[in-house]
Amino acid sequence: MAIAGDGGFLMNVQEMETARRLNSDIVVMVWEDGGYGLIEWKQDNTYDRHTDLSFGNPDWGKLAESFGWSFDYVDESVTLLDVIKNSLETAGPSLIVVPIDYRENAILTKRLGEITMGLEIVYRLKRFATFMPFLPIGCRTSEVFKQ
Amino acid sequence: MRHSWRKSTGVWQANLECASTTLGPGAANLVTGVANANMDRVPLIAITGQAGIERWHKESHQAMDVVGMFKPITKWASTILTPHNVPEVVHKAFKLATAEKSGACHIELPEDVARMPSDDLDPSQKSRPTRPVPDQDVIFDALQMIRSAKSPVILAGNGVIRLGASAELRKFAETTGIGVINTFMAKGVINQDSVYSLFTIGLQARDLVFRAIYESDLVVTIGYDMAEYAPNMWNPDREKKIIHLDFVPAEVDENYRVEVEVVGDLAHALQMLNDGVHDNPFEIDPTRQHAVRHEMMQEISAHEDDDTKGPMRPQKVLADVRAALGPSDVLLSDVGAHKMWIARHYQCYEPNTCLIPNGFASMGFALPGTISAAMTKFRPKGNGNCR
């Protein structure tokens, strides 16, 4: 099984023919966001904005049909597990397209920022404690870090 | 992109991949795939055609410097100028492609040379180089340093997968109690359910996993490949003590100041370390590493029961993919935002069961890669001493 973004999948989309010809027992899941999500993520992190990174997608159902692949589009998360299991059981190549919620990217960045911030604070305290040996033990880094 | 076949079989030493194209644009179309294989350390031979030597000196249809184009993206690239050279050139390409760190080699065959008779030539005798074994004194030094550390941590890279050293690595973690962080391409070196698994590192921002390195006073790198994750990301203050275990000596990097360099076959080196630990066991307080593991597990399982409609959270999708696939099934990742989520949230039980291009990291890998992986009938190996 493979997972690809819509951009990466379309870069070698002609290989859908190879998979059909070889009758490969594969499942390829495409995460659809209609853009270069990682570049957008990085640009947003660095510049708080991004260039135009969006693109259009084919009609995935027609694409799969034209290459002779099985196809599922899933936008109800409760049904996803069954669709994946069924596709794994299906002979020949299968395409699953899932619209993906990349608002989670910014949420993860914020979360990682908090983790980094926490480490920075502890790091400074550690430096501080190193030069302030008279501080009570409870203020030393190892104790702070356990919080 | 065929190199996922090699990755998913896990028997890197014995075999390699070949790709062949015609001259000019055919050769140019190989560039991204060959560069990807080379920087992911995949043994690959690329064979391309070339215009006949008789028209090399002038402007000519589809004739360009293909060897020059391949030199920066291979370990070695050469033209066969006479049939007499074929056995040596082919032998050398195979030998260099499979030698650590393995990678891509390129052979070019001009049309007119290809037409020359070569019936009287036999294949070159295949050599079987023995693998280097680390010095016992260096193993002793490494053990001494690990023994005196308060909170050591292991950073395992793609070399552990490629050299089939997972079994010895797991044994080392179990006998010493040292937690294992793996890079994207080293997924599965340790079982995700093992208490010693501290999951994957390699996001550009600092993650929870980074804390395990941050809190450590010694980093033992095993088969670590800087092309995946630069040392300044995890050692910005250059203060970490480092023990380097790899088949080849450490790359020079100001943020990677190695105190003990254990150079030799990884599985054998780990076996020597395990023997040393066995003779004189030691315990390490795992409390902090367990805390990191526990927090990361909470992050991974968040949203696994998500029931929203419309666009889905990456965490939920990966929880379902993991639930649908068996422990030995193979998941390939392409390159993009999804790769970051797969690296962080999709965990493995066995080596070679999650393939992520992360050296050169070119998009477009997943679809052709999974076709190749399917041709091997998903037989992950590499979990053992391959000496």
Stretch among B54-58, B156-160, B206-210, B214-218 having the lowest mean pLDDT: B206-210
Sheet strands side by side (includes B331-333): A70-73, A94-99, A27-32, A2-5, B331-333, B354-355
Residue B56: per-residue pLDDT = 95
Phi, psi of B79 (to 5 degrees): -100, 145
> What span, in angstroms and rounded, lies between the C-alpha atoms of A44 and A49?
5
* DSSP string for residues in B237-288: TS--EEEEEESSPPPPBTTB-EEEEEES-HHHHHHHHHHHHHHS------HH
Q: Collect all residues of chain B within an 8 Å Cβ-Cβ radius of residue A75.
A: 309-312
Q: What type of residue sits at position B283?
A: E
Q: Does A115 contact B at CB distance below 8 Å?
A: yes
Structure confidence by residue, pLDDT tens digits, A7-20: 999 999 999 999 99
**A24-33, A135-144, B111-120, B133-142: lowest mean pLDDT where?**
A135-144
Contact B272, B254 (CB under 8 A): no
Q: Which of B355, B371, B375, B378 to mutate to test the interface with A (most CBs of A within 10 A)?
A: B371
The pLDDT assigned to A140 comes to 41
Determine the distance in angstroms separating the CA of A8 from the nearest CA of chain B, rounded to an integer.
5
Q: Determine the distance in angstroms separating the CA of A9 from the nearest CA of chain B, rounded to an integer.
A: 6
Which of A12, A81, A86, A88 to mutate: most B Cβ within 10 Å? A12
How much is the average pLDDT of B108-134?
A: 89
A78: three-class secondary structure by DSSP: helix
Which residues in chain B touch residue A21, judged by CB atoms under 8 angstroms apart? none
To the nearest whole angstrom, how far is the Cα of B329 from the nearest Cα of chain A? 8
How many CA atoms, within 13 angstroms, populate the side-chain half-sphere of residue B311?
Answer: 10
Burial class (CB in 10 A: 0-12, 13-18, 19+), B95: middle
- Which residue has tokens 């690809």? A4
Q: Is the pLDDT of residue A30 over 80?
A: yes
Q: If you write DSSP's letter for every residue of B52-92 in order, what string do you get? A: -GGGTTS--TT---HHHHHGGGSSEEEE--SGGGHHHHHHH
Shortest CA distance from A20: residue in chain B: B371
Q: What is the average per-residue pLDDT within A18-28?
A: 97
Alpha-carbon gap, residue B263 to B250, rounded angstroms: 9
Backbone angles phi, psi at B108, to 5 degrees: -110, 135
Residue A125: pLDDT band by 50, 70, 90 thresholds?
Answer: confident
Q: What is the ipTM of this complex?
A: 0.90
**Chain A nearest CA to B90, separation (Å):** 29
CA-based nearest distance B17→chain A, Å:
18
Average pLDDT on B101-126 reads 92
Distance CA B267, CA B10 (A): 14
Radius of gyration of chain A, Cα coordinates, nearest whole angstrom: 24
Taking CA B354 as the corner, what is the angle to CA B249 and CA B258, rounded to the nearest 5 degrees? 20
Q: Measured between CB atoms, which of A9, A78, A102 is closest to B334?
A: A9
> pLDDT confidence of B11, banded at 50, 70, 90?
very low
Is A145 a residue whose pLDDT tops 50? no
CB contact under 8 A, A15 and B371: yes
From chain A, the residues in CB contact with B357 under 8 A are none
The pLDDT score that the predictor gives to residue B279 is: 77
Residue B379 reports pLDDT greater than 80: no
Average pLDDT, chain B: 90
Nearest to B325 among A1, A75, A102 (CB): A1
Q: Is B371 on the interface with A (CB under 8 A)?
A: yes
| pTM across the whole model | 0.90
A-chain residues near B337 (CB < 8 A):
5, 31, 33, 37-38, 40-41, 102, 105
Residue linked to tokens 């973004």: A5
> Hey, are the CB atoms on B337 and A37 less than 8 Å from each other?
yes
pLDDT digits (tens, 9 = 90+) for A61-120: 999 999 999 999 999 999 999 999 999 999 999 999 999 999 999 899 888 888 777 777
Proportion of chain A above pLDDT 90, given as a percent:
67
- What are the tens digits of pLDDT across the range B69-102? 999 999 999 999 999 999 999 999 999 999 999 9
d(CA B174, CA B177): 5
Residues of A in contact with B208 (CB under 8 A): 115
Is the Cα torsion angle B80, B82, B83, B87 positive or negative in sign?
A: negative
Distance from CA of A18 to the nearest CA of B (A): 8
Look at residue B6 and tell me whether its pLDDT is greater than 60: no
pLDDT value of residue B9: 38
Judged by CB atoms within 8 Å, which residues 318-347 of B form the interface with A?
A: 320-321, 323-325, 329-342, 344
> Does residue A126 have a pLDDT over 70?
no
Confidence of residue B15 (pLDDT cuts 50, 70, 90): low
Of the partner residues B206, B336, B374, the one whose CB lies closest to the CB of residue A112? B206
User: Is it the case that residue B14 has pLDDT exceeding 60?
Assistant: no
Percentage, residues of chain B above pLDDT 90: 79
Q: E strands, chain B, where?
A: 17-21, 44-50, 76-79, 104-110, 152-156, 180-182, 197-200, 218-222, 241-246, 258-263, 331-333, 354-355
Instruction: Report the length, in residues, of chain B.
Output: 387
Evaluate the CA torsion angle B200, B206, B211, B214 in order and state its sign. Answer: positive
Q: Which of A124, A7, A3 is nearest to B317 (CA)?
A: A3
**Which residue, among B331, B273, B6, has the nearest Cα to B145 in the 3D structure?**
B273
